[in-house]
Amino acid sequence: MPILDSKTGEVRVDYSVEELEAKAQEMRAWTMIAVTAANSGHTGGCMSIMDITTALYLKHIRHDPNNPEWPDRDRVFWSTGHKAPALYVALAAAGYFDDRPLTFNDEPVPGLEHVQGLEQTVLLRRLGSGFEGHPNQMKLPGVELSAGSLGQGLGVAIGSALDAKLRGREYNVYCLMGDGEQDEGSIWEGVMCAANYNLDNLVGIIDRNLLQIDGATEDVMRVASLRTKYEAFGWEVIEIDGHDMPEILEALEQADAVKGRPVLILAACVKGKCVDYAENVVGYHGVPPKDGRCGEESLDRALVSIGVTDQFPAERVDELLEIAEKYQAFADQRVDESMPKFSRDYWWNSGEAMGVEMDATRNGFGYAIAELGADEKVVAHGADITGSIRMDYFYKPDGKNEDPERQKRFFSIGIAEANMALVASGLAKEGRTAFIGSYGVFATGRNWDQLRTTVGYNEYNVKIADAHGGISVGPDGATHQALEEISIITCLPNFRMIVPCDVLETARATKAIAAFDGPGVVRYAREATPVVTTDATPFEFGVANVIRYRGEQERFIEAFETSLARDYESEDEALALIACGPMVPEAMRAAWILKEDYDIETRVVNVHTVKPLDVQAIVAAARDTGTVITAEEHQVGGFGNWVAAAICRAGVGGNVKLDMVGVEDRYGESGQPWELMKVFGLTAEHIADKARVLLGL
């Protein structure tokens, strides 16, 4: 059924097979332009699923772009949410954005008032655009589900299909999944459930492109034979070539006609389809054209490979990329205008003095796990982002070459965080120190029950790499930005947690959690952050550091003096900034601002060990200064409430003015990491501004 007018039932637009095939190529081009403009995004998966996407949105499903909430529309749930760019261009091609004004936070962008439809998709992963790294149903019409945590979309689709049965509605429900996603146990719970309720209005579609982040699906975690497995659960299975348009359309019609059971369309696809340098290449999962606009692996080469250069000559591509640049310039202007102002620009490396080096804190974990892997008692697990979180350093201690002996002690679990925690527990029970890791939202959130009941209750020696914490994954958006782990881990008995401030402290923290028996978590960021410690900086598990600003220097790090909190004697500071993780460098920069602009002496307390908390250091800071601000790259209070409780339980709370800096009860969104630091009010400028209020400056 083609696109409809939901009020009259008339056909709005219909496409022939030949037109659909041409549209699929055009949509591939739009997607490649978008991921190039964003300099991030999932090239491979978007290309592999595009033919199916085109068939669904431009030909098969019953929907009305002018009435996105039409109750009788067919629903398409993208469980494979990282392929969002393909969804966006499909919605745009169907007409969902034809009358949608282009705005930044509801404000029209000067010079871009005319940009509508497919042109808007070039704003992929831009702050405030709506085209987030993973779909957000609150931001765009036509998006049925905010998604991105793999394995969850099928269950939602089942619920929607059940509701259609209850209400007697005739709509069909489609769920798009990846083959790597079949690693998740929640998928198989859903498969069983759908068959149990005979949901013949449900069609699952698997993009069977045979690749996931860590390699071939059958190498990472064998999922074949998917046909046999789904049939064993009671599903009808239709196997097709996922790039043959007539075959796709015929399979969709056939699936809709099946009665009494759900249907799976198992589509054989090629990852990176039609982009010659990306076809069947693992490295193009989550990666835009590596050469940017021009070169062997570039946007221009992709457009030639797709065969759309007549539609997208160089001048047209320039125009589209300029839309993204103009939008970003306006966004930058508005974000900078929102920042608190001081006598001069104190931003990182903005002046000739106080220069700082940047390095990704995840590298620190890699350095440490490479060292720890020499111990044959240590084992490690991969959850399909092994290289991204630097867990691969366990079996590649030099960062390049695999060590066969270590490789035997590395276990690829695939996209299955709950199972990873349990397998690690079994190894720990037998005397191993077992490291697991993934994005923080998955490594500590998705498997929280397993961590609580199996790991924590049994006091197993399982160590969690809580990677890509906070908003450091930037463009990926809310589904991948971990802002809750301090709360959900520190409330668990037997767990200990370190939130290091930079790459060097991350290495020390990782070795520290390996040194004690029992559950331990190290939370670290993904992107480059300021390096504010050295090999000589004191570090002791469970003991906070006090950092004091001593005056401007050529290098930022040389402007500060650090000591263990227990060795520090009060200097009668007016303010204490108590921070953890990436907020420690921001607190240090705030101390610099406050001294230079207001002659305020500030005690910065780096509480790298958030459990067990250094209560003595916190109480001393509160008692000595009388004014405390906590700072965390986390939902506000996850760390701050522990600090406040320590102060109050010590009996000094009534004499202390206290406030907190953190994310104010909201989910993350797509944007560059430093951009989001500003938007979420997490910078030194925001800390210093809050200090001005508390101190009455």
Residues 563 and 628 in one domain: yes
- Condensed to tens digits (0 to 9), the pLDDT of residues 129-178 reads 999 999 999 999 999 999 999 999 999 999 999 999 999 999 999 999 99
Same domain, 491 and 600: no
Element of type H or E holding 687: helix 684-695
Residue 285: band (very low, low, confident or very high) from pLDDT cuts 50, 70, 90: confident
Q: How many domains does the chain have?
A: 3
- Mean pLDDT for 276-295 is 93
CB 17, CB 249: distance < 8 Å? yes
- Choose the final residue of a domain: 481, 498, 530: 530
For the stretch 73-132, pLDDT in tens is 999 999 999 999 999 999 999 999 999 999 998 899 999 999 999 999 999 999 999 999
Which residue has tokens 């998740």?
A: 184
DSSP structural state of residue 83: G
Query: How many contiguous H segments (helices) and E segments (strands) does the chain have?
Result: 22, 26
Which pTM was predicted? 0.97
Whether residue 347 is contained in a domain is answered as no
290 CB neighbour count, 10 Å cutoff: 14
Whether residue 556 sits in one domain with residue 486: no
Question: Is residue 483 located within the same domain as residue 579?
Answer: no
Look at residue 345 and tell me if it is in a domain. Answer: no
| pLDDT tens digit sequence for 559-605 | 999 999 999 999 999 999 999 999 999 999 999 999 999 999 999 99
- 289 preceded by a cis bond (ω within 30 of 0): no
324 inside domain: no
Domain boundary among 504, 530, 556: 530
Give 326's pLDDT tier (boundaries 50, 70, 90).
Answer: very high
**Smallest Cα–Cα separation from 226: which of 277, 270, 177, 288?**
177
Q: Is the pLDDT assigned to residue 629 strictly greater than 90?
A: yes
Question: What domain range includes position 54?
Answer: 3-317
The first and second tokens of residue 421, run together, are 């925690």
Confidence check: pLDDT of 1 > 70? no
Same domain, 455 and 491: yes
User: Do residue 244 and residue 206 come from a single domain?
Assistant: yes
| pLDDT surpassing 70 at residue 653 | yes
The mean per-residue pLDDT over the stretch 343-351 comes to: 97
For every residue of 214-274, which 3-state class applies, written as one string? CEEHHHHCCCCCHHHHHHHCCCEEEEEECCCHHHHHHHHHHHHHCCCCCEEEEEECCCCCC
Question: Does residue 286 carry a pLDDT above 90?
Answer: no
For 512-541, the DSSP string reads HHHHSSS-EEEE--SSEEE----TTS--BT
Q: 567 and 522, same structural domain?
A: no
471-513 residue pLDDT tens: 989 999 999 999 999 999 999 999 999 999 999 999 999 999 9
- What is the domain-level CATH number for residue 210? 3.40.50.970
Contact 4/64 with Cβ under 8 angstroms? yes
CA 528/CA 526 separation, integer angstroms = 7
> In DSSP terms, which residues pair with 264 in a beta bridge?
204, 237
Residue of 587, 669, 610 whose CA lies nearest to 488: 610
Query: 417 and 484 share a domain?
Result: yes
Identify the CA nearest to 237 among candidates 206, 209, 264.
264
Q: How far apart are CA 541 and CA 558, in angstroms?
A: 24
| Element containing residue 127 per DSSP (H, E) | none
Q: Beta strands 496-498 and 609-611: pairing type?
A: antiparallel
User: Which of helix, strand or coil describes residue 663?
Assistant: strand
Which among 411, 467, 470, 476 has a CA at the least distance from the CA of 444?
467
Note whether 16 and 140 are same-domain residues: yes
Q: Mean pLDDT over residues 189-213, rounded?
A: 97
CATH of the domain at 679: 3.40.50.920
Whether 306 and 369 map to the same domain: the answer is: no
- For the chain, the average pLDDT equals 97
C-beta separation of 22 from 311 below 8 A = no
The sheet that has 627-635: what strands, in order across it?
A: 560-564, 545-549, 602-606, 575-579, 627-635, 657-663
